[in-house]
Amino acid sequence: MSLNKKTIDQLDASGKRVLVRCDFNVPLENGVITDDRRIEGALPTIKRLIEQGAVVILASHLGRPKGITPEFSLAPVAARLTELLGKDVPLLPDCVGPEVEAAISAAKPGDVLLLENVRFHPEEEKNDPAFAAQLAALADVFVNDAFGTAHRAHASTEGVAHLLPAYAGYLIQKEIEHLGVVVENPARPFVAIMGGSKVKDKIALIDNLLPKVDKLLVGGGMTYTFLKAQGLEIGKSILDATSIDYAAQLLRDHADKIVLPTDVVISDKFAEDAMTSIVPVNEIPSDQEGLDIGPETSAHFATIIKTAGTVLWNGPVGVFELTPFMAGTRAVAEAMAESDGVTIVGGGDSAAAVEKFGLAEKMTHVSTGGGASLEFLEGKTLPGIAALLDA
């Protein structure tokens, strides 16, 4: 699928001030970045603009600050960019205002500057026109490379795009191409794996993908709503009671496509030192909860995955953060890594899982956008992309 938007390849940025919206919303522990994939993902666009002799002005949010919140400063990102680019990337004191304007005016072609967290201003999330105009005034051209926030109509993602010539960066281009294959023309058999806790969070995605897939493998907390819809005892397992009827309807209408677990890993507690046992799905005791798919299910899922032409994974199939409930999600990741087909990991927790297991490099594409990937795969229009110049 092509983007149908003007991209950075159609931009001559020489001598121009280019505002680039990146997604540097990276996980931090005690001020240290624990996963810099999103920063790495922005490098091709940044390097291209440096080579062209632009003044590169990077903007991003980090976390959900309430006003100016020091722990959500982009200082660790500026330090990491300085390392990765091999050149000084100063963090400006704000994202708008006289000091910022002065620093940009003094910058030379090829310089890279990072604006402080745009969400320190509440106007950002309100897509306030005056705030968008202040951001736009810093630059001659806008490049959106923040796929992870493209589903949000904020001042720095959507508002600015109406005020400056607006292009897509390489990361957005790559995301749309890879995710677009799944939506438009997947190699067959096309297998989708759905995990996560609640069915209701995935209804739009399931409805959009079910007509297209050959098999839909269901795991994670969603499993137990489907089992309940079949009248089975699920003990203390997570239940999305509002979606029982929906699950039952899917099982009636698409029994040939939906593959449910046949065994699960159960425990009476949700902890690293939990004692576990494996039971068939129709033998879950009333005082236990299911927290992972079992080995029989893992093997069955792996067989289906390895013979697929396209695999899309959205949501872990167990509580992979805890060792006793990690095996199912690892088995899915390993089967995808061994597959000869196109393997797409739809961001969020699935992306964290393949990273944890050291298998991200073995996937065709690991999306950087959790909510954005989900909305794109649901068939929704992403405002941050819609606002860019048409090709």
- State pLDDT tens for residues 2-50: 678 999 999 999 999 999 999 999 999 999 999 898 999 999 999 999 9
Pair 169, 208 in one domain: no
Pair 286, 233 in one domain: yes
What does the pLDDT average to over 153-165? 97
Q: What pLDDT, on the 0 to 100 scale, is given for residue 2?
A: 62
Model pTM score: 0.89
Structure-block tokens of residue 101: 């304007």
Pair 110, 216 in one domain: no
Share of the chain above pLDDT 70, in %: 99
Q: What pLDDT, on the 0 to 100 scale, is given for residue 379?
A: 87
- State pLDDT tens for residues 174-208: 999 999 888 888 999 999 999 988 899 899 999 99
Catalytic (active-site) positions: 38, 198, 348, 371
- State pLDDT tens for residues 319-328: 999 999 999 9
86: left (phi over 0), alpha (psi -120 to 50) or beta: left
Q: In terms of C-beta density within 10 A (0-12 exposed, 13-18 middle, 19 or more buried), how is residue 212 classed? A: middle
The DSSP bridge partners found for residue 18 are: 56, 141
Rounded distance between C-alpha atoms, residue 38 and residue 368, angstroms: 6
Rounded distance between C-alpha atoms, residue 382 and residue 139, angstroms: 23
* SS3 at position 239: coil
The model's confidence at residue 287, banded by pLDDT at 50, 70 and 90, is very high
The model's confidence at residue 378, banded by pLDDT at 50, 70 and 90, is confident
Per the domain annotation, does 391 fall within a domain?
no
Per the domain annotation, does 385 fall within a domain?
no
Q: What pLDDT, on the 0 to 100 scale, is given for residue 1?
A: 55
Q: Which of 174, 198, 221 is the last residue of a domain?
A: 174
Range of 205's domain? 186-377
Look up residue 201 and give its DSSP letter: G
Pair 24, 151 in one domain: yes
Pair 158, 213 in one domain: no
CATH number for 237: 3.40.50.1260
The yes-or-no verdict on residue 374 having pLDDT over 90 is: no
- State pLDDT tens for residues 102-119: 999 999 999 999 999 999
Pair 205, 253 in one domain: yes
Per the domain annotation, does 114 fall within a domain?
yes
Q: What pLDDT, on the 0 to 100 scale, is given for residue 321?
A: 94
Task: List CB contacts of 130: < 8 A, sequence separation 6 or more.
Answer: 123
3-class SS shares of the chain: helix, strand, coil, % to 5: 40, 15, 40
Which residue shows structure tokens 């899915």? Answer: 332
Q: Which of 118, 144, 174 is the last residue of a domain?
A: 174
Helix (H) or strand (E) holding 78: helix 75-85
* SS3 at position 181: helix
Pair 87, 127 in one domain: yes
Q: Which of 113, 144, 174 is the last residue of a domain?
A: 174
* SS3 at position 107: coil
Q: Domain tally for the chain?
A: 2
Pair 230, 116 in one domain: no
Which residue shows structure tokens 């992972």? Answer: 292
Pair 101, 206 in one domain: no
Pair 191, 152 in one domain: no
Query: Average pLDDT, whole number, for the chain?
Result: 95
Pair 111, 195 in one domain: no
